[in-house]
């Protein structure tokens, strides 16, 4: 609330309390100043406490007048407060829109659920420019606390996407609650920006093809991806990490990173990496070496000598990693 509004409110109620107290003091019989002020306050607040002293008919009329002025003051306060809230929300929205309008080649996150929050955190850590679209007040408060740019609105409405700079965005991820909403939003995005890289969440596999048909570049089913990852860890607990690459023919090639202790491969002791012939015989690459102290050397040279107290990090397809381990 602005200073002038607060000052007007303070002066008004001070005057009401003063005049009300003066009236009770003048009209009452043997009323003290404290009793007069007390009677004015409980009359204005309508809390229902008993009268300081029995009121005469004239005193009751005066109490009615004080109540009317008090209600008028409260109504005035509520109106002014509502106006200030509206002005503040409008100011904050305009300020946010100005910040978003400055963005070019940025990213847009449609939906701030669990996945949206993770994506926003990753982009923020990588210092990428992005804006979030969501319409739930509690999520907007959380976004605002984190200092992210956002548009408060429904992503299924085209004007909301335009406010987020959909035509200037280089990448957009759609992670709304339902596949129907994701599909509708992706269709709207493609009608306004055919060049942005578009990623969408999909909960039902049958809907993935529909999303691709409307122009989605990558479709992610978190349940399938999570289940696949957990099954791989269950079947190959020694597998450090893995990534699945889709070919243009929609076939999957899975690459993994595994740690191999050289004490298990005696013939590598004292050999240079280029002489191990892992690439030629197994189509595997050594991407890191861990020494006995646990220090990691990334991307070692081909002439680096290996020792049996080291551990090598090898990348390749799962089948080739299994072939190497079977030969040890």
Q: What is the per-residue pLDDT across 173-232, written as a single tens digit (0 to 9) for each? A: 999 999 999 999 999 999 999 999 999 999 988 899 999 999 999 999 988 777 877 776
For range 148-157, the mean pLDDT = 94
Per-residue pLDDT band at 118 (split at 50, 70, 90): very high
What average pLDDT score do residues 26-30 get?
A: 72
What are the structural domains, with CATH classification, of the chain?
1-95 (1.10.287.70), 103-226 (3.40.50.720), 242-326 (3.30.70.1450)
Q: What's the pLDDT at 180?
A: 94
**Residue 169: predicted pLDDT:** 96
Predicted pLDDT of residue 125: 93
Task: Tell me the mean pLDDT in the region 18-28.
Answer: 82
Mean pLDDT of 274-296: 89
pLDDT tens for each residue of 67-77: 787 777 767 77
Q: Residue 201: which residues within 8 A CB-CB, separation 6 or more?
A: 115, 173, 174, 175, 176, 182, 219, 220, 221, 222
Whether 132 contacts 143, CB under 8 Å? yes
Does 11 have pLDDT greater than 90?
A: no
Question: What average pLDDT does this structure show over 239-259?
Answer: 63
Q: What are phi and psi of 281, to 5 degrees?
A: -95, -30
Mean pLDDT calculated for residue range 37-46: 77
Q: What is the DSSP string of 256-309?
A: EEEEEEGGG-GGGTT-BGGGS-HHHHH--EEEEEE-TT--EEES--TTPBP-TT
pLDDT at 50: 59
């Amino acid at each position: 609330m602005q200073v002038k509004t607060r000052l007007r409110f303070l002066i008004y109620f001070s005057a009401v309390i003063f005049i009300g107290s003066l009236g009770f003091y003048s009209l009452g019989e043997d009323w003290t100043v404290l009793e007069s002020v007390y009677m004015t306050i409980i009359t204005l607040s309508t809390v229902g406490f008993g009268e300081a002293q029995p009121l005469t008919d004239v005193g009751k009329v005066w109490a009615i007048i004080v109540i009317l002025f008090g209600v008028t003051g409260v109504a005035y306060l509520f109106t002014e407060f509502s106006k200030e809230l509206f002005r503040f929300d409008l100011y904050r929205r305009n300020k946010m829109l100005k910040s978003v309008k400055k963005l070019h080649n940025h990213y847009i996150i449609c939906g701030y659920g669990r996945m949206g929050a993770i994506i926003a955190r990753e982009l923020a850590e990588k210092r990428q420019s992005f804006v979030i679209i969501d319409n739930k007040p509690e999520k907007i408060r959380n976004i605002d606390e984190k200092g992210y740019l956002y548009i408060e609105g429904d992503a299924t409405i085209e004007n909301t996407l335009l406010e987020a700079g959909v035509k200037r965005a280089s990448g957009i991820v759609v992670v709304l609650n339902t596949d129907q909403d994701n599909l509708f939003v992706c269709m709207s995005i493609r009608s306004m920006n055919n060049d942005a890289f578009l990623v969408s969440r999909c909960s039902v596999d049958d809907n993935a093809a529909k999303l691709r048909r409307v122009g989605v570049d990558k479709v992610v089913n978190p349940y399938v991806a999570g289940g696949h990852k957990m099954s791989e860890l269950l079947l190959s607990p020694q597998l450090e990490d893995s990534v699945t690459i889709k070919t243009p023919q929609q076939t999957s090639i899975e690459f993994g990173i595994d740690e191999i202790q050289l004490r298990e491969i005696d013939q590598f002791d004292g050999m240079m990496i280029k002489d191990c012939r892992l690439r030629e015989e197994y189509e595997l690459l050594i991407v890191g070496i861990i020494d006995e102290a646990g220090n990691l050397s990334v991307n070692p040279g081909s002439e680096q000598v290996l020792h049996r107290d080291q551990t090598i990090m090898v990348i390749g397809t799962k089948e080739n990693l299994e072939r190497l381990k079977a030969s040890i």
